[in-house]
Each structure stands twice: as C-alpha cells, then as structure tokens.
Amino acid sequence: METITIFFFISTFLPILINSSTAIDTITLNQIIKDGDTIVSAGGNFELGFFSPGSSKHRYLGIWYKKISSETQTVVWVANRASPITDKSGVLKVVSPGNLVLLNSANDVLWLSNMSSSAANPVAQLLDTGNLVMRDGSDSNPGDYLWQSFDYPGDTFLPGMKFGINLTTGLNRFLSSWTSPDDPSPGEYTNKFHSGGYPQILMRKGSSIQFRSGPWNGLRFSGMPNLKPNPIYTFQFVYDQEEVYYKYELVNSSVVSRMVLNPGGMIQRFTWIDRTQSWLLFLTAQMDNCDRYALCGPYGSCNINNSPACGCLKGFEPRFAKEWDVADWSNGCVRKTRLECGNGDGFLKVSGLKLPDTQHSWFNVSMGLEECERVCLRNCNCTGYANVDIRDGGSGCLIWFGDLIDIREYAENGQDLYVRMAASELEKLNSSSAKRRVRIITIPISLVGVVLLILFLFFQVRNKRKLKRVGMTRFNPERNYNDENDRKDIELPLFDFATISKATDDFSISNKIGEGGFGPVYKGTLEEGQQIAVKRLSKSSRQGLDEFKNEVLCIAKLQHRNLVKLLGCCIEEEERMLIYEYLPNKSLDSFIFDEKQSMLLDWPKRFNIINGIARGLLYLHQDSRLRVIHRDLKAGNILLDNEMNPKISDFGMARSFGGNETQANTTRVVGTYGYMSPEYAIDGLFSIKSDVFSFGVLVLEIISGKKNRGFYHPDHNLNLLGHAWNLHKEGKSSELIDTSMADACNHPEVIRSIHIGLLCVQQSPEDRPSMSSVVLMFCTDMVLPQPKQPGFFSERKLLDADYSSSKAESHSANLLTVTFLGPR
C-alpha cells in the first residue's frame, strides 16, 4: 500500500514540481499571477508583476529591470496604463483561446491582450529582451508569437523593438509619455512615424508637432546628425511595401540601455552604470532651440550659432518685418520675386541643412537627381527637391509641394536642398555672388596700404596708453556696472571690491594660494562664513583679460558636480576678479606627483577621480547648454574637494560652440605641453577629441604618478605615453602602476583603465572615443578595441636638466601654458 501511495505522489505531483521550477518565466492556461507574485525572464534581466509608481498608491501590471536595484526600479512597460487598480486585488491569467487578462476584485477586465487568433496550448512568456509574448506551447517553433508587448510600447523604446508601422495590418508601434513619474497613463506627448509623404518621425504634444526627425537619408535621420555608428549600439531603418520601422541592437549584451519619451516631451537615451547605480544620459534627440518645430516659419532657416537664430533662405525676406524685429518668426519668409511657372524657373542649391517637413512630398528611390529636377519643374506646385539617399554620391528623388517648413543649418552632416526660384531672382543672386567674388579679390588688395598704416599706428600707440574698451558678449569688462540693468545683463552675481578685499584680508600674502597666467589666487571668507577662492586679474596681464572674459562667458552658464562652481565676479574700476567656491585639497597635481601626498590616494580614490573628470568632460561636450571644449585640461586644473571629488577648473582657454559644431581651427594655440593633442599643437585644429587626448594623458598620469612631460626611464627616451604603449604591447601594463598603490589595488580595473587611457591618446582624432563612450568603458564590461600608436610617440633627446627635473618631480612643467602665434 505504501509503494502505491509513493508511486501515486510521484506520478501526480512531480511533473508539476518540475514545471514550476523551470517555467519561472511563463504563465500557462488558467495559471494565476496575484499581486505580490512575479515571473522573471530566463536570464534574469526583466521581471513582471504589480507595482506602484513613485508616490502613487494605485497598482499597475508592468515589466521592469530585474538586475537593477529596487531603489531605482525602472519600469519599461505597463499593461493597464489608463485603468489603475485601487487595491492589491489584481490578478493576471491566461484564458482560452489564448488571451492574457487582467482582472480586479469585481472581475472587471482592466486589460486584455486582445489576441485575434487561438492557440491549443496558450503560454505567456517574459523574454530576456523585456518582451512579453503569447505563443502556442504546442508549436515546434517558439519564435512564432501570437501577440507581443513590443507591438504595444509605452514610453520606452528597448533594443530589438521595432518602432514604426506595419503597412499591411496598420499596426503602429509608437511611444507615448507618462502623465507624470507617479502616473503612467498616456500623457501629452507621442512620438511616432508619419507615413504621409516620405516617412519621418514626429513628436507631438496633443496634435501640435514639437519635434521632427527629418527623413531617413541612408545614413541617419536628416534632423538627427548625432545619430552615427558608435560602440554602444547598431541601428537600421527599413522601408518596404510591408512596413516602415527603425530599430537598434546593443553591441555588448552586458550594456543596459533604453530610449524614453519623458513626461516633459524630451526623447532621451540612457545607459545604466553599475558602479554609480544610476542611469547615464547618453544623448538627447532635441539638441537645442533650433529643434523646435517650425521655429522660423515657412522658408525660414534656423542656425543656433547666429543671433538671432532665425534667418530667411536666400531669395526670401521676412513676411512681417516688424514681427521679426521682436523675435516673432512664426510667419516665416516670403519670396522676393514670385514664381512664374513655365517662364524659366530654376533652383538654388542650399547646403548643410536639415531637410524640410516631408508630410507633403513625393519620392522615387530609383530616379536620378537630374530627372528629379525636370519632374519638379514640370509641376508648378513643386518648391524644392533633394536626394532620398546621400550615400555613394546620392540617389533617389524627394520632391516637396507647398511651403518649405522646419529647416535648420548644421556645421556637419547636413544635406543639400534645391530650392525653386524665379529666373530673375536667380540672376540677381548669381550677379551678387559674382560681384562679391570681385570684391573679395579687389578690396583687400586696394586696402593693403591702409591696413599696413593702421597696424603701424596701432603698434606705435599700444604701449603708450591702456586699452580703453574691450568688446564682450553680454557685458563689457571695462564698465563699472553701477546701473541695475547692466547688472542683470551680465547674468552673474557681482561682488563689490570692498567685500572681496575684506574677505581676503586686503589680499594678504598669507591668503595667497596660487599664481597663474591670469594672476594671483587668494583664499577668502565672506561675512556669512562661506569660504571662497578669488582669482585677481593682474593689471599687467593682457592675456589675463582675455581669459577673464572667456571664463565668465563659459562657466557662468555651466552647472555640474564635477565642474568648479563660479559664484560671481567683481568688476570695479580697474579691478577684474572671479570668485569661486573654495576647495580645500587644492589641485590634483599636488597629490599624484608628490611622493608623500600620493600615499593618500589609494586606487578607489584615483578611480573615482578619473570617473569624475570623465563625467565633467561629458557634460561639457554633450549635455551642457553650450558645447564647451576646455583646451587646457591638466592635473593642475583639476581641483579636489574635501572628499577628494574632482572638479574641472580654469576655463580661460575654453571655447564654446552651438548646435552640432564640434571642432575649429585657430592661429593661436593655447594649452600645456604634455597634454596637447598632435593635431592641435601642430596644426591648430582643436575639437572635443583634443580634450579626449588630454584626458587620456591624465588617466595615465593618475595611475602611474608620473608626468608625461619630462618622464624619464633608464631604458629608453620615450615619454609616459610611449612607455605605457610599449608596456601594453608586451602585456606588462602592471609595471606602470604607481608603487604607492601597486600592492593594494584592483589590478584588472587598473589594467582596463590603462587600456582606456591609451585609446584616448591615439594619434588620429577619429580613432579616439567620445567621452560618452569613455564613461561607458569605465562603468561597464564592454569589450575594448585595441589601441593604436599614441600621439607624440617618437623618442626624443633629453638634456641633463630634463633628467634632473624629472627625477626631482618638479611641478613647473605642469604649470607651463604656451601660446603659438600661428600653426605650422
């Protein structure tokens, strides 16, 4: 009898136990998931269950990241967005013939998967991609989904998800924002493909368009120039007779990334950073004010680097000039000369643009550009044309009908647009261009004598009197700023001289904490007890005046935990001062290059400093209101607070850009030997990749405790970069580690950091990673590419003085700032 009982138990319950232990990611027919129960995807990436968002007491069925800490629960999909449950009575189950149903205590259906087909053995499964699918458990092909949550996204666009329209079934996969962080119901904003004309993505607030991606041009969406190949994800656009969609896939499965339409209408891509347990903002679709839809009206063009930003296309003028005078550009521009269809209209080529709104357009992917022009000319409603695909010299034909709207200009990755013009207007424009070319040639020649005379007089009087007036955007540093309106114009708190003098004990020598090209730096204490650092412009420093102006313009608009905070300035009579937060631990170079002080920096502190500098640079290059290139990043310009957190300082050499501008050329090279990139030091070309090079030098210096410039090794005459490169090739990178921490550090982490540093100092700017990639490299386990030879790699001959200075660990090289008056 006992044997029969055991046999009965095994045959009856063992299959159930086995199934329940292995099917934690599935829900079978009539199985119930109650509030408090969850299922987890096979790889543990995602979890499905009931939750309450933010401070809300309502309950929702959703999917969230499982491996991310519960304190920062990140929900990627919600079933009953518009039908919250007021208590914990919610139940989810699979019912015949194959639907997922969400019920409350009254058995009201709050949400239904609404699957049209039936299944003999319906099973719901949560995949490791975050996709909740319905399939037939009897089907031999588990990839045949009868329904999937990826077809009904909320505010989140996940890797592998199709974003777009099935043109056969009409299924439209689009994003809709949450109402608020506490309320996942559909908010004001939607982001979806518009298939009228040539497809493009439109982000709307209600029915009003707020942002437009522009049409796909074979490489990217015309209005998203920052969408380019990168080490984080790949992307593709598909448009055929059956569907139009965009999707992306992660290159490294260990990276966690998502795209979100937030409640405020911003389209943002985030990447999860394990070390900081936070989401890193990787990029934002809307870059600046010029991305506001139709900001400049019909035939208006927006250039973020201009002031005002809006202007009319050539051959056009403001429709209402008085409105433009008060920055109301909504009515746009009109033609100076009306079109006369059939009487010799032509086309003006305008380059570097985001193509206009394609809602009223026609296209042919096989038609050439010449035929495209002829087709446009034959249709009196055609106002412009362009290539559909810009790859391999361009192909396809895209034609616009009606007004050209939502145009902006880019410094790079813009496109050519051919705008229809009356023949007479084209003649005027061509004649004007020809006259302009003549003037460009003749006027300088005729003025050479005058210019030489002016230069002679200038140099004669330059040393006899002070510069009386120096122009400056937003304010003039020679003015006293006693008028309240002037003080508002500066957009920065102004301290009076008496306050700063009292705070620094009349600029006493005992309070002097540094000296630079700008002038002396003093420690001070305001009456309320706040400690400050005061940079006082030396009266004899003409260069310092330039730095003063530049620093105010750059850093006054920047706020980040890893940037030194500018509290205000003092402009009174001949005094020019900048007032900063005081950082007690002074600069990084006073620690890493000092034998005793370096003992205070263990590896966790150094790694935290490296990551903080990287985040500060990422903010400058990508996330700030201004795109800022520092141009003088070095150990002496990294200040440390009382917890040894780094703050980037000294923006006197910085340059700010707008829009998509990322590089420039200068005849005045400024920076510090040992940190300047090759293309900047030799050719005067600086970019965000110049800062990346300087950052790479800093990384290697922080790890080694040695300076790049003046580095000495008995076996060769290479600098620190060359030494690190040789050790890396020989698999001996651990020999680079500072002896003060070599025995007590995370060696794999240090070796990886050396690898990243070498990637940053590669000879070619194109080979160096962006700072967003650098931050991800430090914070994730993504596979690193092999670095190529660093810049300034060749051996050099050293003088005896160089040997002695390197052995003595002198700080002088780190403080040297150089200026070239003309790149080679």
Active-site residue set: 632
Closest alpha carbon to 719 in 815, 788, 798: 798
Contact 565, 580 (CB under 8 A): yes
Helix (H) or strand (E) holding 2: helix 2-22
Q: Which amino acid is at 179?
A: T
Work out the number of other CB atoms within 10 angstroms of the CB of residue 462.
Answer: 11
CA angle 728/731/734 to nearest 5° reads 80
CA-derived radius of gyration, the chain: 32
Q: Which residues have C-beta within 8 Å of that of residue 9, sequence separation ≥ 6? A: none
Q: Which residues have C-beta within 8 Å of that of residue 370, sequence separation ≥ 6? A: none
Contact 768, 689 (CB under 8 A): yes
Location of structure tokens 């339409």: 261
Helix (H) or strand (E) holding 687: strand 685-687
> Per-residue DSSP letters for 216-271?
B-SSSBTT-TT----SSEEEEEEESSSEEEEEEEESSTT--EEEEE-TTS-EEEEE
d(CA 608, CA 601): 10
Closest alpha carbon to 237 in 249, 226, 248: 248
d(CA 814, CA 803): 16
| Chain length of the chain | 824
SS3 282: strand
Closest alpha carbon to 62 in 47, 45, 40, 82: 47
Work out the number of other CB atoms within 10 angstroms of the CB of residue 647.
Answer: 22
> Per-residue DSSP letters for 398-446?
EEEES---SEEE-SSS-EEEEEEE-HHHHHHHHHHHHHHHHHHHHHHHH
d(CA 242, CA 3): 62
Contact 314, 353 (CB under 8 A): no
Location of structure tokens 């003085």: 801
Work out the number of other CB atoms within 10 angstroms of the CB of residue 403.
Answer: 16
Encode burial over 576-608: b for 16+ CB neighbours within 10 A, e otherwise: bbbbbbbbebbbbbbbbbeeeebeebebebbbb
- Count the alpha carbons within 13 Å of 435 in the hemisphere toward its beta carbon: 6
- Report the first-to-last Cα separation within the chain, whole angstroms: 99
> In sequence order, what E strands does 6-98 have?
26-28, 32-34, 39-40, 46-51, 60-65, 75-78, 91-95
